[in-house]
Structure 1
Amino acid sequence: MNAKKPPVPVSLLMVIGIVAISFSSIFIKWSSAPVSVQGMYRLLITSLLMLPFARPYSGAARTLHFKDWLLLGASGVMLALHFLLWMGSLNYTSVASSTMILALEPLFIMMGAFILYKERNSGSAILGMAVAIFGVVFIGWGDIGLSAENLKGDLLSLGGTVAVAVHLLIGQKLVARMPSYLYSLIVFITAAVVFAVYNLATRTPFFDYPPREWGIFVLLAVVPTVFGHILFNWLLQYTSATTVSMNILGEPVGSSILAFLLLGEQLSRMQWAGGVLVMAGLGVYLYAGRKKALKLEAALANAS
């Protein structure tokens, strides 16, 4: 894990990212466009917004090796697959169920980080993760469907969770040696191209959508992508993929509350209780991560 400190506290940036990304499922539910079109324009508009500020990173792009470009391509494919599967899951199941399954992402991250990077977590951090995940189960407990349609949505969300975990693990490796802005831009363009190819192959219309849909495409690009995914990618310079994914556990809480207020999806007492458990687990995990970071800083100071 990188011992650098960001100019703004990580905890504050995590809160901003969680709030922003919590709106993603709301915007998706509001849209009647195919999810592959939503995903394509979400990433394309984000890329267009980023391009005017990309010139300072042109030198860094020229220093990338062939292996780096392969990893960037793989990360972009995984991000597109994540959006396609997870956004598609919202057509079959509720916001609470879909985001609850998505919040299992840290389990895949933790296993992948241990296998690939030998990254270990303390007992208290694992306890915090377990409490938070248990809370996530509470959130979706009264909402998990037993029908074939809801099960399809659950499986789509699970597949999207695996895909985004792989995307984050690749990102952790790449942003250690390249600017996070450049990483995000290349990955978003790659994912947008993947969606475009998918839409061409499935003969999905590119342009025949009312103004309301275009407004939703813009909202998806600006709110959950710029202030969510780009922010989380940037934070990979300062903390591990496990910590970033752990904080995304706050999304089911935020999304469930927004779904209750904006979509009329009801929350049970168990789901409210689950929100409290998620926040408690996040607190334990972050505290454990902070202690680990302080120990690392002290060790580096002593070594110097």
Structure 2
Amino acid sequence: MKAEGIAVLSISSALYGFSIILVKMALNQGYSSYSLVSSRSLLSIPLMALAIFFLKDKVNYERPLPKRDLILIGIIGSGTAMMTLYLGQAYTLAINAGFIFRFVFIFTALFSHFLLKDKIHRGQYASMIIMFIGMYFISTDGKALNPQWGDILVLLASLQVGFTNVLAKITMKKVNSYMISAIRIFIGSVFIVLVVSALFGTGTLSPISSIPFTIVALALLEIIFIFLYYRGIEIEGPLTATLFFLMGALVSAILSYVILGETLSVIGWAGGVLIMVGAYILIKKSK
């Protein structure tokens, strides 16, 4: 791996692990998931408009822009996926969300197989099964028969992100990763603000004035994360980038314990270990 790839992916993963905790802290204060994601998105719109303006020279205009793919990356990656993730976090522990969202690795591997024609071998399928068992343990604590709704929503969010990771890699053949990042956040943010405001009213933007520092932090964390993470995908590919993304689960778990006082049982931690081990095996088999 290149030094730049290791650096950008390690930093991006840690930042995302911290953002999981920041969202949970705001949810614990009584703010709705929709108001948080909508407020954060509103701040991101002008910032990404400026970014697109300054990055426009990074686009190769000799080739037709993949407009459909860019729109899909924006609406799904920074739109519906983030709305699903924020809603899921409202109904589960930050530790659970931090671990389960790392299932994006499995979905990235599957979409890489179908869209990029990357082969998945028998050993890789076995590692995926290990990760699913781990997700069950961490979400049910070995007691309930079915995962909680919040965990399922977080899992659905990871599926959407896995798809856009691979689609972004395909699009990087024509568009610079930084421009894709800016377009993704801009389109996704506009989508979220319009949808949430239409469904729940503009009152959902109130956190901007009541907890401005938290909203600014959430917006900046997402922007920096996406720019670094997509650069990592451009350098190392979607599978390797997602492996580093797993490191953020440890950040989420540690901060959940230190800041929020959340804990997991032995079974829950065992599930987390299975997720990490399964993903590590999967990336090793992918080489």
TM over 0.5: yes
TM-superposed CA distance for 1:168, in Å, is 1.4
Matches of 2:56 and 2:134 in 1, distance apart?
A: 44
Q: Give secondary structure in 2 for the equivalent of 1:205.
A: helix
Letter of the structure 1 residue corresponding to residue 216 of structure 2: V
Q: Name the residue aligned to 1:268.
A: 265
Q: Name the residue aligned to 1:174.
A: 171
Shift in alpha-carbon separation, 1:24–1:256, aligned structure 2, 3 A:
same
Shift in alpha-carbon separation, 1:19–1:234, aligned structure 2, 3 A:
same
Count of residue correspondences: 282
Matches of 1:231 and 1:257 in 2, distance apart?
A: 22
**Which residues in structure 2 correspond to 1:216-227 (within 5 Å)?**
216-223=214-221, 225-227=222-224
TM-superposed CA distance for 1:75, in Å, is 1.1
Which of 21, 24, 35 is the matching residue for 2:19?
24
Letter of the structure 1 residue corresponding to residue 14 of structure 2: V
Which of 6, 10, 17 is the matching residue for 1:15?
10
Deviations, residues 225-274 of structure 1 (Å, cap 9, x unaligned):
13422211111111222332333333333212211211111122233344
**Which residues in structure 2 correspond to 1:213-292 (within 5 Å)?**
213-223=211-221, 225-287=222-284, 292=287
Matches of 1:274 and 1:152 in 2, distance apart?
A: 18
Q: Is the 8 A contact 2:74 2:185 kept in 1?
A: yes
Shift in alpha-carbon separation, 1:141–1:209, aligned structure 2, 3 A:
closer
TM-superposed CA distance for 1:82, in Å, is 0.6
TM-superposed CA distance for 1:280, in Å, is 4.2
TM-superposed CA distance for 1:52, in Å, is 4.9
Matches of 1:204 and 1:236 in 2, distance apart?
A: 36
**Which residues in structure 2 correspond to 1:75-86 (within 5 Å)?**
75-79=73-77, 80-86=79-85
Q: Is the 8 A contact 2:38 2:204 kept in 1?
A: no
TM-superposed CA distance for 1:83, in Å, is 0.7
Q: Name the residue aligned to 1:91.
A: 90
Q: Is the 8 A contact 1:82 1:161 kept in 2?
A: yes
Matches of 1:185 and 1:228 in 2, distance apart?
A: 11
Which of the pair has more CA radius of gyration? 1
Letter of the structure 2 residue corresponding to residue 197 of structure 1: L
**Which residues in structure 2 correspond to 1:1-304 (within 5 Å)?**
6=2, 8=4, 10-31=5-26, 32-49=30-47, 52=50, 54-61=52-59, 63=61, 68-79=66-77, 80-121=79-120, 131=130, 134-142=133-141, 151-202=148-199, 203-205=201-203, 207-209=205-207, 211=209, 213-223=211-221, 225-287=222-284, 292=287
Matches of 1:143 and 1:49 in 2, distance apart?
A: 44
TM-superposed CA distance for 1:275, in Å, is 4.3
Q: Give secondary structure in 2 for the equivalent of 1:40.
A: helix
Deviations, residues 89-145 of structure 1 (Å, cap 9, x unaligned):
111122233334322222222222111110124666666655555545444442886
Matches of 2:2 and 2:105 in 1, distance apart?
A: 22
Structure 2 spans left out of the alignment, 5+ residues: none
Q: TM-score, normalised by structure 1?
A: 0.78
Q: Is the 8 A contact 2:121 2:285 kept in 1?
A: yes
Identity of aligned residues (%): 20
TM-superposed CA distance for 1:24, in Å, is 1.9
Q: Is the 8 A contact 1:43 1:192 kept in 2?
A: yes
Deviations, residues 58-77 of structure 1 (Å, cap 9, x unaligned):
23447286661121111111
